[in-house]
Structure 1
Amino acid sequence: MSIFTMGPAILFCPADRPDRYTKAMERADAVILDLEDAVAPENKQAARQALVANPLDPERTIVRVNPVSTPDFAKDLTTLQQTKYRTIMLAKTETLDQLAAVADFKVVALCETALGILNAQQIAAAGNVVALMWGAEDLVASLGGSSSRKASGTYRDISRHARSHVLLASGAYSKVAIDSVYIDIADHAGLLGESVDAQASGFGAKASIHPGQMPIIRQAFTPDTEEVARAHRLLEAAKNASGVFTFEGQMADEPLLRHARAILERSARTGA
């Protein structure tokens, strides 16, 4: 099974804006070159041409293709055959038949419709799926709603349910879960809080729409010095313990040891 290693800070970039490609790659851990929502219908062909003419590192690049049900999908796949990109994001993933249509690619399945969310478990089980992402605004639009969030900025219950469902489906099949974008670009505090929650809940990365969001997401996913030091102390103490034991006033058992190991793994990945 292929392993998804991109992230944690992943940046969308319109594929019809090749002038932004290099800057996006410099700022982000990985870039999603977007052939779908970020590109107007009349610019789709120019976006495909730009994709071929301006190659980026394929190990750090995802290409979001149009939904299988659209005429643009076949054109996107024809374009990809002219590139070295082999990781795609399949917009509005809903069924295994759709995933079969991209069997030759590593797929980040974007679950952003009611059917996609309900089918997240079988989508996560598919062999060519390496990660799942959920989409808040498209999901609510597919239900006939008007906003994924309340006036306070917090998610509505349906959004929280979808987020949790995709995370659980991903975890059940050892796939990486990618958290949805935070569309209030100026609200750095809100982005940080949501990113911290994403990491603590088990998401492996967070997608974003603006280069300025990159350091904030990276901060949230990078353990600080005290977290790393405490994880080391806990694992060292466990060497001389048997079963449940007390560590710095807290009960410690195998789940806490796994948390500590995860912190050290994240520290190694992010270079903390």
Structure 2
Amino acid sequence: MTDLTSARSFLFVPGDRPERFGKAAASGAHAIIIDLEDAVAPEAKMKARHHAKKFLDQVAVEKVLVRINGIESAFFEADLALSNHPSLSGVILPKADAESCSKVVQKLENPVWPLIETVRGLVDLREIVSLSDLGRLLLGTIDLSLDLGLEMDHPGGQTALDAARFMLVTNSRLGDLPPPIDGVFTNLDDTTGLQNATEHACASGMGGMMCIHPRQTSVVHAAFAPSEAEVEWAQAVVLASEGQKGSFQFRGKMVDKPVLDRAQGTLVALQDHRP
């Protein structure tokens, strides 16, 4: 099982396209998600599960998650048999709520990654993060928008989704989980839009983003990495703090423990983003 607490890019690959598994793993994405749910037609579910198991049997240290079918799906029980595979870093549970997460956590040895994409999931967040053996929270922006009747391309819809982001960020902190992962950006030809979306997610406290194409990962990495100015400031603040016994002035501003913690966190993030 691989640690993904600092991973930033999570690349989906359809479970019925095994020729893409290796390419996805070699794409530079921090983790890949083999999708057995939305990306796979019902008649191809069994083959997708077979392809996923064959790939997992062969890999050693790849960072691989699997998105199983939901607890009410006819394919759920068969997916569970795959979900304890030792090569998996985690199992993504779609349309997660407190009841479904509790049931799945009890059945699995691998961490459960709750995909929050319904109103019920949002309401249940505090109960969800109290469970043991969780990975990270993920925000399913498309399905959540459908459930809430939001227009994702309108500023009003994004404002509502920002409220959902805030709920995932705060509850991740409450449950002592790493920062949550934002939803996919679906326009593959809009690099500027992707960059804006990833920068917005980062500024909102999210810790990474799900991707649907390998070329999106480099944009996500750049957006979530500390900037040169942030790194220079953090290094200078930490250096200036040496020998200080309390708060002190630095470049005309007061530096106290929260500010110093922020600087040290930036330097930790820098290490996480280095190859």
Same-fold call, TM cutoff 0.5: yes
**Residue in structure 1 matched with residue 9 of structure 2 by the alignment:** 9
Q: What is the CA-CA distance between 1:127 and the residue it aligns to?
A: 0.5
Q: 1:211-233, CA deviations, whole angstroms, 9 ceiling, x for partnerless residues? A: 11000001112223332222111
**Residue in structure 2 matched with residue 137 of structure 1 by the alignment:** 142
AA of the residue aligned to 2:53: V
Q: What is the CA-CA distance between 1:79 and the residue it aligns to?
A: 3.1
Superposed, which structure 2 residues align to 1:1-272 within 5 Å?
4-5=4-5, 7-27=7-27, 28-55=29-56, 56-57=59-60, 60-81=63-84, 84-85=87-88, 87-103=90-106, 104=108, 105-143=110-148, 145=149, 147-150=151-154, 155-176=157-178, 177-271=180-274
> Is the CA contact 1:68–1:98 (under 8 Å) kept in the aligned structure 2?
no
TM-score by length of 1: 0.90
Q: What is the CA-CA distance between 1:24 and the residue it aligns to?
A: 0.8
Shift in alpha-carbon separation, 1:70–1:180, aligned structure 2, 3 A: same
Q: What is the CA-CA distance between 1:85 and the residue it aligns to?
A: 2.1
Structure 1 residues 84-93 or 261-270, which shifts more?
84-93
Q: How much identity, in percent, do the aligned residues show?
A: 31
Aligned residue for 1:101, secondary structure, equals helix
Q: Distance in 2 between matches of 1:223 and 1:34?
A: 30
| Aligned length in residues | 268
Shift in alpha-carbon separation, 1:117–1:149, aligned structure 2, 3 A: farther
> Is the CA contact 1:222–1:267 (under 8 Å) kept in the aligned structure 2?
yes
Q: What is the CA-CA distance between 1:19 and the residue it aligns to?
A: 0.9
Q: What is the CA-CA distance between 1:184 and the residue it aligns to?
A: 1.9
Once superposed, what is the RMSD of the aligned Cα atoms? 2.2
AA of the residue aligned to 1:189: T
List runs of 5+ in structure 1 lacking aligned partners: none
> Is the CA contact 1:32–1:64 (under 8 Å) kept in the aligned structure 2?
yes
> Is the CA contact 2:25–2:62 (under 8 Å) kept in the aligned structure 1?
no
> Is the CA contact 1:232–1:260 (under 8 Å) kept in the aligned structure 2?
yes
> Is the CA contact 1:7–1:206 (under 8 Å) kept in the aligned structure 2?
no
Q: 1:13-32, CA deviations, whole angstroms, 9 ceiling, x for partnerless residues? A: 11111111111111211001
Q: What is the CA-CA distance between 1:99 and the residue it aligns to?
A: 2.8
Q: What is the CA-CA distance between 1:52 and the residue it aligns to?
A: 1.4
Shift in alpha-carbon separation, 1:98–1:107, aligned structure 2, 3 A: closer
> Is the CA contact 1:106–1:129 (under 8 Å) kept in the aligned structure 2?
yes
Q: Distance in 2 between matches of 1:155 and 1:241?
A: 47
Shift in alpha-carbon separation, 1:146–1:193, aligned structure 2, 3 A: closer
Shift in alpha-carbon separation, 1:22–1:212, aligned structure 2, 3 A: same
TM-score by length of 2: 0.89
